[in-house]
Amino acid sequence: MMDIRLKNRPIEISKSDIKSLPEEEKIIVCARCLFPVTDPSKQMAVKGSFSHIFANPHGHVFEIGCFSDADGCISASPKSDEFSWFLGFEWQIGICKNCAGHLGWIFTSRDERFYGLILEKIIFP
C-alpha cells in the first residue's frame, strides 16, 4: 500500500480509486493517461441513442458515445463535412488535452455541438 513511486505521479489514478469517489465527483477519464475528459452527467442522446457504431472510409469500426461537453477533449483538425456520420454536422478530430491520444470527434452544426467519444478510449467511473 505504501508505494512511494506513485507519489510523484498524481495523474495515474487507478481505476479502483475512481470508483470510490463520491457520486458528484465521478469522472470519465482518458483510457491512455487517465486525464479527466468528461463526466457521466454530460451523456446525451443524438438521433435517439447515446451510443453509435460507425465505420470510417478505411473500414475501421468505432463505437462512440455522445456527450454534450468534454473539457478534456480538444480539437486537432479543421472542420470537415466529408463522410460525416451525422447529417448536417461537420466534424473535427478530438484528442486528449493531456496525452494527445485520439478520443473521438467533435461534431458541430449551425446551432448544435456535441462530442462523439470512442468508448474504448475512455474509462467510465
Using rule CB under 5 A, residue 13 touches Zn ion: no
Q: Is 1 helix (H, G, I), strand (E, B) or coil?
A: coil
Cα distance between residue 29 and residue 35, in whole Å = 5
Strand order, beta sheet including 122-123: 36-38, 28-30, 122-123
x-marked contacts with Zn ion along 93-122 as a string, rule CB under 5 A: ---x-xx-x---------------------
Cα distance between residue 53 and residue 22, in whole Å = 31
Number of residues that bind Zn ion (CB under 5 A): 8
Q: Within 10 A of 90 (CB to CB), how many other CB atoms are there? A: 18
CB-neighbour burial class of residue 47 (10 A; exposed 0-12, middle 13-18, buried 19+): exposed
Out of 18, 28, 35, 70, point to the residue binding Zn ion (CB under 5 A): 35
Q: Which stretch binds Zn ion (CB under 5 A): 63-71, 77-85, 90-98, 105-113?
A: 90-98
The DSSP bridge partners found for residue 122 are: 30
Out of 27, 28, 30, 106, point to the residue binding Zn ion (CB under 5 A): 30
x-marked contacts with Zn ion along 39-78 as a string, rule CB under 5 A: ----------------------------------------
Binding residues for Zn ion, rule: CB under 5 A, are 30, 32-33, 35, 96, 98-99, 101
